[in-house]
Structure 1
Amino acid sequence: MNLLITGAGRGLGLQLTKLALERGHTVIACMREIADATEGLLNLAAQYDDQLRIERLNVTHEDEAAQLAARLAKDNVKLHGIINNAGILLGREHTIETLPIHLMRLTFDVNVFGPVIVAKHFSPLLADDAGAVVLNISSEAGSMANAYGGDYPYAMSKTTLNMFSKQLKNTLWKRGVRVLAIHPGWIKTDMGGQSAPMEAAESAGGIMDIAEGKTTIADELVFVDHTGRSMPL
């Protein structure tokens, strides 16, 4: 499989990249700035030189997405998976009365418009009728059924991402492309913190099983966790 993974420099994105390479896949690892490449990603580049392509992609900059997509098309790259992993969590210490609205805008820019931009420019590169997938990394915080109050920017952005996933699913199924929003679980990352009960590698394993089609998921589902279990929208 040829996989494009955003936010691949650290956390869950790095673990997804590592596991995909170990399983023999080719990865286009995208990150906001090449200079920010972590030691872990650079080690993977040295170990899997022929499988790993590191590219600069700030998902909020549509021109960068368009330029990278054009380069991949020129290289005759066909994608079998897009994992929209780049995301941010801001403003969780605020109540609605103190919430800085610019944090809402920034969060939506990355967590919503980012995946939209990626889908717009890279979905044309997905191989038709070949089991290709678009996996949008969401969160249980985006469930309207289980809304808990607080985390307004993050939760609302993930709810919107779930809606986008549903819309995109209804568009790309005609090409044989599966679209899912995935709750990765509460994992130990910079975002999840060290109190999280699960390692990022465990979540990445489940997500990769979904990407590879090893986990059976009912056709009507769009929001699942990393094991493929249905999540309430």
Structure 2
Amino acid sequence: MNILITGTNRGLGFSMTKAAVKRGYTVFAGVRSLETEHQMLQELQKEYPEQIKIVPLDVSNENSLKETSNHLKEENVKLDVIVNNAGILFTESRATSVTDLDLEEGFKTFDINTFGPIRMVKHFMSLLNGEGSKIINISSDAGRIEDTPWLFGSDYFYGMSKTAVNMFTEKLRRSEPQFKVVGIHPGWCHTDMGGKEAPLSPDSSAEAMLNIIDETTKIGWDYCFVDYEGNKLHF
């Protein structure tokens, strides 16, 4: 199985890469720039040199994505799964009043969290390996309109960006029925984004989401939003 994952230099993306290669899959591991050192990912690549291909995927830069997509096409690469994982959260804005919001942070949040997956699908969907290939958008329960967790109650931009991702996922699921498309809430993970209080390790979440991807955990693929264990979520 060939899997393309964005945001693999740390956190959940790194954990998903590690889990995937241990299952024998090949991962095209996306990072913002090849010029930056990505120590953990590069060390993992030394262990699995035939299974990890580090590629530049700056999801906020459409030209970067187009160039990488064209390069993979020239190499006759076919993908079984695209995982749109890269995301951003300005934690210092979590309790900010609407009157004090920094709209530039909002624009950047939507640019990466919402338009990033859209750009990725736009340029990489043609590399998918035919009917049954999968597009996985890493979402969040912060994007739920009903019963939004209190932790995200005053976090305007992150929650809004993930709600938009869920809508994108549903539209994509309906318009491209030849593919299996779903958004996954990965749980509250102990990462730089999730914080130290988070109860779930990214490795545990990654393993559970890989179970959905390789269909060890069965879901119906007739709904656009599930948690990392495959349970349907309302949004």
Indicate the TM-score class for this superposition, using the shorter chain for normalisation.
over 0.9
The answer for the alignment partner of 1:103 in structure 2 is 105
Match of 1:152 among 156, 168, 172: 156
The answer for the alignment partner of 1:197 in structure 2 is 199
Contact 1:209 1:215 in 2 (8 A): yes
What are the residue-to-residue correspondences of 1:134-153 with 2, within 5 Å?
134-147=135-148, 148=150, 149-153=153-157
The answer for the alignment partner of 2:10 in structure 1 is 10
- The aligned amino acid for 1:198 is L
Q: Displacement, 1:34?
A: 2.2
Q: What is the CA–CA distance in structure 1 between the aligned matches of 2:139 and 2:36, rounded to whole Å? A: 24
1:196-226 alpha-carbon deviations (Å, 9 max, x no partner): 0110000001111111111111232110000
The answer for the alignment partner of 1:46 in structure 2 is 46
Q: What is the CA–CA distance in structure 2 between the aligned matches of 1:77 and 1:205, rounded to whole Å? A: 25
The answer for the alignment partner of 2:85 in structure 1 is 85
What are the residue-to-residue correspondences of 1:104-143 with 2, within 5 Å?
104-129=106-131, 131-143=132-144
Contact 1:6 1:31 in 2 (8 A): yes
Q: Displacement, 1:56?
A: 1.3
1:122-144 alpha-carbon deviations (Å, 9 max, x no partner): 01111112x31111000000001
1:52-98 alpha-carbon deviations (Å, 9 max, x no partner): 11011110111111111111111111100000000000122412121
Q: Displacement, 1:33?
A: 1.9
Q: What is the CA–CA distance in structure 1 between the aligned matches of 2:89 and 2:16, rounded to whole Å? A: 20
Contact 1:9 1:37 in 2 (8 A): no
Q: What is the CA–CA distance in structure 2 between the aligned matches of 1:160 and 1:7, rounded to whole Å? A: 19
Q: What is the CA–CA distance in structure 2 between the aligned matches of 1:218 and 1:80, rounded to whole Å? A: 18
Q: Is there any run of 5+ residues in structure 1 with no aligned partner, and where?
A: none
Q: Displacement, 1:38?
A: 3.0
DSSP 3-state at the match of 2:98 = coil
- The aligned amino acid for 1:200 is P
Aligned positions, number: 230
Q: What is the CA–CA distance in structure 1 between the aligned matches of 2:35 and 2:199, rounded to whole Å? A: 31
The answer for the alignment partner of 1:209 in structure 2 is 211
Cα separation, partners in 2 of 1:106 and 1:64, compared to 1, 3 Å: same
Contact 1:180 1:222 in 2 (8 A): yes
Mean Cα displacement is larger for which, 197-206 or 86-95?
Answer: 86-95
The answer for the alignment partner of 1:26 in structure 2 is 26
The answer for the alignment partner of 2:165 in structure 1 is 161
Q: What is the CA–CA distance in structure 2 between the aligned matches of 1:151 and 1:115, rounded to whole Å? A: 21
- The aligned amino acid for 2:134 is V
The answer for the alignment partner of 2:55 in structure 1 is 55
Q: What is the CA–CA distance in structure 1 between the aligned matches of 2:87 and 2:207, rounded to whole Å? A: 19
The RMSD of aligned alpha carbons is 1.1
- The aligned amino acid for 1:80 is D
Match of 2:189 among 187, 190, 208: 187
Q: Displacement, 1:28?
A: 0.4
Q: Displacement, 1:180?
A: 0.5
The two structures have a TM-score, normalised by structure 1, of 0.96
